[in-house]
Structure formats: C-alpha cells, structure tokens
Amino acid sequence: MTFTQECAIPVDRERLWDFLMEVPKVARCVPGVETIEAVDASAYKGSLRVQVGPIRLSLQGTMTVEEQDRASWRARMRAEANDRRVGGGIRARMSLTLAPGEGGTRLRIETDLAVLGRIGEFGQPVIKKKADALLEEFAQNLGSRLQQGG
Amino acid sequence: MNAFEYAAPRTLDEALSILGEHGDDARVIAGGTALVTMMRQRLVSPGYLVSLREIPGLDRIEAANGDVRIGALATHRAVETSPLVQERIPVLAETFRRVASVRIRNMATVGGALAHADPNQDPPVTLIALGARVALRGAGGKREVPVEDFFRDYYESALGPGEVVTGVMVPRLPASSGAAYVKFLPRTADDYATVAVAATVTLEPDGERCRAARIALGSVSVTPIRAQGAETLVVGQRLGVDLLPAAGEAVKRVVDPLSDHRGSAAYKREMAAVMVGRALTQAWDAARASARGTR
C-alpha cells in the first residue's frame, strides 16, 4: 500500500532538516516509540508500541537511512519491524521531502507499506487511518519541540 | 493459544472484583465467538478469562418500563426467536436473524457483540435506529449509554476498565411508525454486510408526512454511525421521488468506508446511498400500514 501525507511544521527548512537527520531525537516525537539506539552511522534499532482496538502490538525492528540529500531536501529510509507474539510485521519505505510553506515548512512523506501476517489480516482496513493519526501527533510533537528550541 | 486462568463467578459483583484485581490481563468472555477467534490468532493473549455464563438472569429478555430489556448473555438466536421481541420490535428480531449463521447465533451474545465493537456487525445498526441504550456496570456503579455514543473507534467502545455490558434497553416505537433493516450482501448469506442500513419512520396523523426518522449505517466507517443530516432532510416531508436521492446524498457525506475485499470505499459510498433509499421506503411503507391500522 502506498500513500502520501503532508503536514506543516512551523520552523524554516534548514532547522527542520537538521533536526530530522538526528534520528534518535526524531524518534522521540513518534508516538509509541519506546526505545531507539544507533547500530552504526545510518542504521538504528528500536521498538514501537501501537494499539488497534483490543490489540496491542509491540514492534521490534530496524530503521536504515538510505539517502540524505540536503541539496534537493529529500531523504529516504527503510524500516522493518516484527511483533513476535502476534506473528507478523511491517516493511516500509519512506521518502521525506521538505518544501517551503506558509509560516514554515511543508513536510511531505511518501510511504510504501506492507503489513504482513496476522497483523495485516486484522489491521489492513485501518492502516491508513492509524498512519494519519500517528502523523498528526508526530507533527504536533515535532512542532512544539522545535519551538522550544529542539 | 496461550495458557490462561478461567473463572466462572456466580454473581456480577464477583466478576467485577476479579476484573478489578487482574486489570488489563483479564478479559470478559460470554459466547466466545469473537474473543476465542482472536485468541487463536494470538491477536489478544489474556492471562485471565472471566466468564459471565454462570451468572443467573443475565440472559433474560423482558418488558421493563415500556422498553424491551435484553440481558447481555441473551444469544442472537434467543433475540431472533423471542416472542416478545417479534411482537414488539419485529425489525430487531429480523436484524438478529441476518447475523452470520445459526451456529454462530446460537453462541454469540448480545452483550459480547456490543463489547467487541466490530463496525461490520448487524445489531448495532438497528439498535441505533431504534434509539436503544447499553447498560453498563463497573466497580463505580451502573450507567447507561445510547448505543450511538457507545462505539468510539475501530473495535473500541466506551467501556471503561473493569466495566461490563449488562444489557441493552430498546424503546418501543411510537404509533404510526415503521422500521426496516436492509443488508447488502453480494457474497454469501453468512457474510458481514458490504453496507447495512436501518431506518425508522414515524408519520404525522395524516399518515403521509414524516414526523420523526432515524437512520443508522454499518460497515461504512470505523464504527456504526447515525446519519442525522439525512434524518433532518426527511422530517416534515412526504415520500417522493426527490426525497430519497437527497437523503442518499446526505448519507454519502457522512460515510467514510474502508476499502476491503467486500468492495472499494467509493463503491460502498454509492451503495450506502442506494441502501438508505431502500430502507427508508420500507420503513415508510410499514409506517403507513401502521397508521392505517391505528386510525
């Protein structure tokens, strides 16, 4: 499944870019992220908790930054995570683009997401809605954190 | 499936105290048609199951203060075949008859289905159109929630921690009223609806103009929904050729279907409008017949 999301972050492009390239800091703005640690210069491992109705997922996995191109304000990353108990996981490729916007920067996220196993069977219909809710909260967290001085 | 402890208390108070003691790790089980499936798939792994099946009287279906009170442990089949429900609220008996297969209806309970909060179920749609209320009990006492406010999100309800559904209260329709439940079921007879609509219509003394209407839909959002915009449109009107498309358009604006193997979101949105037209027509016809009968 592919989808594109956009949000406005009330800081300039340079500041947002610098912040976004510091993965552990960004991760703390993602709702549900419990741990994040660097494996090497571009790879990280961590865990994320998500709740869909009565189902609580604990996703353990890795994230790799594949491209950071400041000249074109674009970054690409790949994430893989699994929930061992439920059986299933996610594979995601994400592309971030920063464009100047009214009162700050427009962050555009294109995602190609596969949700596998039992999680997919149950959650497929609401993945997009969950992703939208997650992004909205992420954008708020990011905005308030950057306005507090990062 | 994970190992779990099983308790079958004889009183509701005892059940509530066990739930309070084990918190998040405990789940209430009634018919088990939803929970056991999810446990088998390991989507949920409760350490403690509290069965309500040994609590006497929780499966009663009875008349109470003008309402029909259906106990949480009443099975779908019991509601479908209840003489009281068939006589007083035939649309509800018909709705329960449309649920899955008779094997599931013999096990699945009214309270369990509400607590499961699956947006594709049949009964909540008709219960919303009828203005029914869910009765809940927790450590803090009893409360009632209109069914239309009970569902909060995909498989999420207003049930608080340690709270249990004890029943549902269904008011009787006023005189000169009719009701209908239509389920669009293009695949198999025991499937979930692609789109489901329930409507109730109450007519003015002239037996033609609409005095009050309620319209509810299932399988078109992350929860069952009530279409108040469409209701407002039909109140005060006669059933005419322009009215149904207008009501359908109003419904399209409030539905937010999920694309799945039963159809795309766009298809379900169109079908929601069609099904609302059919449900209103059937409810209106029934209301006219009722008005003729009472004059």
Overall average pLDDT of the B116-137 stretch = 97
> What's the CA gap between A82 and A68, in Å, rounded?
26
pTM: 0.89
Q: Is the per-residue pLDDT at B295 higher than 80? A: no
On whether any CB of chain B is under 8 Å from the CB of A53, the answer is yes
**pLDDT tops 60 at residue B274:** yes
pLDDT tens digits along B180-211: 999 999 989 899 999 999 999 999 999 999 99
Task: Give the one of B38, B45, B258 whose C-beta lies nearest to A85's C-beta.
Answer: B45
Is B144 exposed, middle or buried (CB count within 10 Å of its CB: 0-12, 13-18, 19+)? Answer: middle
pLDDT at B226 over 70: yes
DSSP B122: S
**Which residue in chain A has the smallest CA separation from B2?**
A85
Asked whether the predicted pLDDT for residue A150 surpasses 60, the reply is no
Once rounded to an integer, what is the mean pLDDT over residues B71-82? 98
Give the class (CATH, top level) of B5-51.
alpha beta
Shortest distance, CA A126 to any CA of chain B (angstroms): 7
Range with lowest mean pLDDT among A1-10, B62-71, B111-120, B174-183: A1-10
Q: Given this model, what pLDDT does residue A149 score?
A: 66
Mean local confidence (pLDDT), A85-113: 91
Q: Give chain A's domain count.
A: 1
Percent of chain B with pLDDT over 90: 91
**CA torsion through residues B153, B158, B159, B164, sign:** negative
Name the residue of chain A whose CA is nearest to B263's CA.
A125
DSSP secondary structure letter of residue B259 = P
Residue A89 placed within a domain: yes
Name every chain B residue with its beta carbon within 8 A of the beta carbon of A122: 41, 43
CATH code assigned at A135: 3.30.530.20
Q: Where does the pLDDT of residue B236 fall: very low under 50, low under 70, confident under 90, or very high at 90 and above?
A: very high
Which among B53, B11, B18, B48 has a CA at the least distance from the CA of B32?
B53
Residue B128 — pLDDT band, cuts 50, 70, 90?
very high
Range of the domain at A91: 2-145
Q: Is A104 inside a domain boundary? A: yes
Q: Is A49 inside any structural domain?
A: yes
Residue A82 within a domain: yes
Residue A150 belongs to some domain of the structure? no
- Closest-CA distance, B163 to chain A, in angstroms, reads 14
Give B174's DSSP letter: P
The rounded distance, in Å, linking the Cα atoms of B115 and B151 is: 9
Q: Tell whether B264 lies on the interface with A, counting CB pairs under 8 A.
A: no
As for the ipTM of the complex, it is: 0.74
Mean pLDDT of B59-87: 97
pLDDT exceeding 70 applies to what percent of chain B?
Answer: 99
User: DSSP string covering A4-34, please?
Assistant: EEEEEESS-HHHHHHHHT-HHHHHTTSTTEE
CATH topology of domain B177-294: Enolase-like; domain 1 (3.30.390)
pLDDT beyond 90 at A56 = no
In this prediction, residues B40-46 reach a mean pLDDT of: 88
Q: What is the pLDDT of residue B30?
A: 97
| A41 inside domain | yes
pLDDT band with cut points at 50, 70 and 90 for residue B294: low
The domains of chain B are located at 5-51, 61-171, 177-294
**Is a pLDDT exceeding 70 seen at residue B146?**
yes
Rounded CA-CA distance A49/A41 in Å is 25
In the predicted model, what is the mean pLDDT of chain B? Answer: 95
Class of domain B61-171: alpha beta
A2 close contact with B: CB closer than 8 A = no
